[in-house]
Amino acid sequence: MRTEEFKFSEKIIKLECREELSSFYKIRSYKQKLKLMIERKIPQKEITDVLNHLFLKNSLLSRKTKNSISKIIYSKKDRIIVAITKWGKEIIWNRDKLIRSYGWFFFVSEAMVDKKDSDKKKKRKREKKKKKIKEEKTVNV
């Protein structure tokens, strides 16, 4: 895994290069589009060229969508670009055009919650429940 940065509109987007992505990203439509890219011999462009064109010249995505991307994970071997964003509908709607233009499958994901934080929240919730049950028992006696 290698990390880099890409600057767009006074914003720095984190880039994470992975050798291979987990099966989580290899959804049914990915498999169909990968087959299409291979059959039609759609060339896979370099990631730097893709990002420069996508963010600076491409008009398929609005500025709002481009600005909402906080991180990009990609795998050259798998031909997947994962955009971490809260406004990814335009990417999904224009996925076919993006695939034909760049030779990459575009996967959209929301920012993943840190597992430690979610575990802490669950623990607090359980403690509140236990406390509430204890209070109810003391009142009933």
Q: Which of 4-13, 75-84, 125-134 has the highest mean pLDDT?
A: 75-84
14 bridge partner residues: 5, 71
The structural domains of the chain, with segments of one domain joined by +, span 2-110, 113-141
Query: 86: closest CA among 63, 109, 107, 106?
Result: 109
Q: Which helix (H) or strand (E) holds 97?
A: helix 95-102
Helix (H, G, I), strand (E, B) or coil at 6: strand
Place of tokens 């990009």: 72
User: What local confidence, expressed as pLDDT, does residue 4 receive?
Assistant: 85
Per DSSP, the three-state class of 116 is: helix
Query: Looking at 4-8, 36-40, 108-112, 115-119, which range is the least confident one?
Result: 115-119
- Distance between CA 35 and CA 28 in Å, rounded? 11
In this model, does residue 114 exceed pLDDT 90? no
Supply angle C-alpha 99, 105, 108, rounded to 5.
Answer: 120
Closest CA to 47 of 112, 10, 89, 2: 2
Query: Would the pTM count as exceeding 0.85?
Result: no
